[in-house]
Amino acid sequence: MKVKVSRKAHFNAAHRLYRKDWDHAQNEAIFGLCNNPHFHGHNYELIVSVTGTIDPETGYVMDMKVLKDLIKSEVEDAMDHKNLNIEVPEFENLNPTAENIAVVIWQKLRKHIAKDMDLEIVLYETPRNFVTFSG
């Protein structure tokens, strides 16, 4: 019997979407406002879900305090109030789209989650746009 448990989190961050190897016109055509050279910010909403079996002793799939602390140390401390392009090493050569941010968050958390559990990341970049990555 598998149960999915989820924790919500939030961070603000700035980014710019562009490719160094494209000229301005091509970046403008593909990334539009997100190519603003002065960066812009988003209020990211994050839902981290872990799916596994219930521990018969505790009744937990995973201690949510542990998950909360993991999100704090791996995601919030690294990304909250940061410029993703400049201050977060994973995006030095990777466009910080919602898709790529979700994959980076998944990779950072995956190594701390028990191997027999599934991990899913849902990341809202705006209230209407969100992406899902589960490996």
Interface residues with Ni ion (CB under 5 A) are: 34
3-class secondary-structure state, position 14: strand
Q: Which is nearer to Ni ion, 34 or 88 (CB)?
A: 34
Q: Which is nearer to Ni ion, 25 or 33 (CB)?
A: 33
- Nearest 5°: CA angle at 35, between 94 and 96? 25
User: C-beta of 96: minimal distance to Ni ion in Å?
Assistant: 8
Q: Which is nearer to Ni ion, 34 or 101 (CB)?
A: 34
User: C-beta of 132: minimal distance to Ni ion in Å?
Assistant: 18
Catalytic residue, candidates 15, 34, 42, 74 = 34
C-alpha dihedral sign at 24, 29, 35, 38: positive
Q: How far apart are CA 63 and CA 36, in angstroms?
A: 41
Question: Would you please indicate which residues are annotated as catalytic (active-site) residues?
Answer: 34, 81, 125
